[in-house]
Amino acid sequence: MRAFRVVIAGGVLVLAGGLAVAGPAYAQGNAPGAPGANATWDEPNVTGFADSLGASSKLLSNSSLVWQQVDTADNGDFTITKTYVADSGRSVIDVQTTFDNTSGTALRLYADYHPQLDNDGMGNTGGTAAASGDLEAVNGSVASALAASTGFTQTSTGYVGSSSDGETMLISSHALTATYSSATTGGHIDQLAEIPVAASGATTFTLALAFGTSQAAAISDASASLGAGFSSLEGSFESGWQSWLGGLAAAPASVTGSPALLTQYFVSLMEVKADEDKTFTGAFVAAPNVPWGASVNAGTGTGQSGAHGYHAVWTRDEYEMATALLAVGDKTDAMAALNYILQFEVTSNGAVKQNTWLNGNTVFGSLQMDEVADPIILAYQLGDTSAWSSVQPLANYLVANGPSTPEERWEEAGGYSPATLAAEIAGLLCAAWLAQANGSTSQAATYQATAQSWASEVDNLTYTTTGPYGNGSYLRWPAPPTAATRSPSRSGAAAMVSTGSLSVSRTTPRPR
């Protein structure tokens, strides 16, 4: 048997072609083997990422994020073609699938789904819905439903790594040798469904994977999404993205001469936009996956303690994504990002949380001074003088606590970091402009003088010729250098920064 895997929000979905076997095994009640093998985040195996722009669809061609997989069996017996979209009006992923059997022998096709709902791989229960025959799962306040336009021939829910694990049955026996109607103890569950296909030739159907606050709601949304028809869903999905792209500035000449670069340009912009949350407008997670997720425990509670790393908001990443969107003409999303940061990331004393969950709850709990500067710079780039009262505490915090940082941007060491210093200096200059625009002349002078002072010390703070590694010359100190180990000022670009004049514009910044 050859299985084709795709990781989807809330779990893993697999389509698997198998050999012909005898008739289906019938359900045998509640599955044994709870809680199942330890769950990890399977995200290194992510093969695609898509998201609808519809506000009611809370999930994750060069003009939309529609994507397609075409998988062929090693022996050429069958091909599975899957096209993915997100329902723009519901929290549903729809997968139009064509299974083409060219083997000359009847084959069986299965969908394999591993629910890991509510950021937890070990607390899930589920089974087969009595009325619809859909696979349903739930963990706390998050539920899912897997349905097919053709219905399912047989279904089973079991525990991973146990005798009830359907995926293990398929791998070892090419069939479900036992089926279970439910798994009622919270654990790492595996859900299998057989899809009816023709004995030969092509069969086309649609899978719907829906998410809701209850199993009934998820089943209802899956049914409604299938009822809408895949062509209609795909059209809405594409038109949403095309409308968004149509509101951006024209692509730069650096990419328009190459179709490949142009596609990469548009898809990259859409991926950035797709990282924005639907509930907390302006909240952009750092990334939709974790590259090392297969080695990270997905057990109960670990999703909320930071183990599920990049599904969180870092102000630095948020700033970089916002300025990318601003650069291509999307001022609305850049402004939403600034508003989100000021509401959820900034603390009462002007410090900025290292990173947070979407609701603003702290994840890691440290402090990185470049993230204190970033919102000030973004406000300046947006020309948002009304943000002065909100960013003033950040500027004051920089003056009082910089330029050393408890952690630099790679979250490994504290001290004087060239990247952090650059952000701090830029942040203070932008704060000076905002202060001046709001009539706070004395504060503007303080920020500008502090920026000038720090710039004059860049060499002394970040370069040494007496270190213990290599030839003793390298950048970035993990702790403040002493007078005895500071190097003399050097010529070149760094010295030009030290001696050059730092100034702040008192006119509205150019649109970016």
Instruction: Report the candidate in 466, 411, 388, 149 with the shortest Cα–Cα distance to residue 474.
Output: 466
Q: What are phi and psi of 95, to 5 degrees?
A: -125, 105
Query: Comparing 141 with 22, which gets the higher pLDDT?
Result: 141
Residues 476, 415 contacting (CB under 8 angstroms): yes
Q: Comparing 22-26, 318-322, 387-391, 484-488, which segment has the lowest mean pLDDT?
A: 484-488
Residues 407, 395 contacting (CB under 8 angstroms): no
Q: What percent of the chain has pLDDT over 90?
A: 67
Q: Quick one: pLDDT at residue 106?
A: 93
Give mean pLDDT, residues 488-492. Answer: 28
Query: Comparing 305 with 110, which gets the higher pLDDT?
Result: 110
Q: Positive or negative CA dihedral for 25, 28, 30, 34? A: negative
**What's 275-288+310-499's CATH class?**
mainly alpha
Q: Quick one: pLDDT at residue 291?
A: 75
Q: Quick one: pLDDT at residue 476?
A: 56
Residues 58, 25 contacting (CB under 8 angstroms): no
Q: How far apart are CA 18 and CA 361, in angstroms?
A: 46
Task: Please spell the DSSP secondary structure of 203-254, one letter per residue.
Answer: EEEEEEEEEESSHHHHHHHHHHHHHH-HHHHHHHHHHHHHHHHHTSPPPPHH
Find all residues with CB under 8 Å of 254, minimum gap 6, and list them.
261
Residues 244, 325 contacting (CB under 8 angstroms): no
Beta 92-101 vs 201-212: how paired, if at all?
Answer: antiparallel
Is 167 considered catalytic here?
no
Give mean pLDDT, residues 493-499. Answer: 25
Q: Which of 194, 345, 407, 408 is catalytic?
A: 408
Task: Please spell the DSSP secondary structure of 46-84, one letter per residue.
Answer: ---------TT-----TTS--EEEEEE-TTSSEEEEEEE
Q: What tokens appear for 377 in the block?
A: 């710079």
Average pLDDT, the chain: 85
pLDDT class of 285 with cuts at 50, 70, 90: very high
H/E stretch holding 418: helix 418-437
**What's 2-241's CATH class?**
mainly beta
Residues in the chain: 512
Query: Boundaries of CATH 1.50.10.10 in the chain?
Result: 275-288+310-499
pTM here is: 0.84
Query: Boundaries of CATH 2.70.98.10 in the chain?
Result: 2-241
Residue pLDDT, tens place only, 119-161: 888 999 999 999 999 999 999 999 999 999 999 999 999 999 9
Q: Which of 345, 411, 412, 457 is catalytic?
A: 411
Three-class DSSP labels, 303-357? HHCCCCCCCCECHHHHHHHHHHHHHCCCHHHHHHHHHHHHHHHECCCCCECCCEC
Give mean pLDDT, residues 169-177. Answer: 89
| Side-chain half-sphere exposure of 309, counting CA atoms within 13 A | 16
Give mean pLDDT, residues 229-236. Answer: 95
For residue 488, pLDDT over 70 is answered with no
Q: What percent of the chain has pLDDT over 70?
A: 82
Instruction: Report the candidate in 341, 479, 350 with the shortest Cα–Cα distance to residue 407.
Output: 479
Q: How far apart are CA 41 and CA 308, in angstroms?
A: 8
Q: Quick one: pLDDT at residue 501?
A: 38
Q: Comparing 76-80, 173-177, 253-257, 434-438, which segment has the lowest mean pLDDT?
A: 173-177
Is 412 considered catalytic here?
no
DSSP character for 22? S
